[in-house]
Amino acid sequence: MTIRDLRICFEGHEIAVLSANEHIDEPAIIFIPGVLAPVNFWLACLPEAILQNRRWYAISLPGHHPSKVPNNYKPEDVNEAWLNRLYQSVIFQLEGDNKVVLVGHSTGGFSALNLASDNVMDILGVISIAGFFEGRWGGVEGQLVKLAGLGKWAKPLFQLALSISRRTPLLQAYLSSLLAHDQTAYNESPVTPKMLAEIQHNMQTQDLSALFPLFNRISDLNIFPKLSAINIPVTIMAGSHDPVISPTQSLRLAGAIEQASLVIFDRTGHMPFMERTQQFNYELCQSIEQYIKPAITRGL
């Protein structure tokens, strides 16, 4: 596996990107992480078959270290159209008009679906892992969204909560485990300590104020009216007991998208990478192959 660490500029932002296996001649896979995860989250959570044998990029959410934000970045900047412009610009700078596959976890899943609903890119397929159409969340992440949503006066409290959460590795591990439903599987998975170690540096050096605009606006995001415009294949992956994204959202997502297929991970929360590693790896590899193989056959 060969990886380059890139920075792509967009409207004063520097967006961190990992670019892997550029020598492989096939459509690229674009990975977008969740709201608290840096780009290197994917290095721990993807199966070796993808890490080593596919051409892929991991693209940061705005403001997530080592990404940088402009001094005038504010909550009012963040909406569905702005996120689409950001990812369209970054992906075009990386791949031009080439066809790609989009894979996103949680807010990354939302971002991938949001892009697909605009139908302005050559997207072969979308894989949404614990993604959503509406930013109404539960669990510990939902509490952070509610706190940030109170407005600018709550920003110091929001930053304090995040600061406390990263104070010790033990506390970080505990709070991360709250995203899972199957605690035993999560804690025993070899992926879990690998993921926590992989993201540690970026989490500790994160500018917490740079996260506030996105968290402040998440509860206002809603693309449900646009889902029927998605005219490409979509795989919806969801945990049956996700504490953050209600399984009802996942069912509604699958019902609103004409070419959607639904994969449910039984007795699973927000982290199928760790809770159901074998099943997740199989489903992810199968979906990616399903989207990329016909394009390779047609010589796209």
60-107 per-position pLDDT tens digit: 999 999 999 999 999 999 999 999 999 999 999 999 989 999 999 999
pLDDT in tens, 132-151: 999 999 999 999 999 999 99
pLDDT at 168: 85
Output the CA torsion sign for 200, 206, 210, 215.
positive
How far is the CA of 27 from the CAs of 3, 46, 173, 299, in angstroms? 17, 18, 35, 10
DSSP 35: T
* Residue pointed to by tokens 């920003």: 155
pLDDT in tens, 108-121: 999 999 999 987 77
Residue ranges of domains in the chain, CATH in brackets: 3-298 (3.40.50.1820)
Residue 300 has pLDDT above 60, yes or no: no
Arithmetic mean of pLDDT over the chain: 94
| Angle of CA points 221, 227, 233, to nearest 5° | 125
Residue 45 has pLDDT above 60, yes or no: yes
Strands 56-59 and 13-20: antiparallel
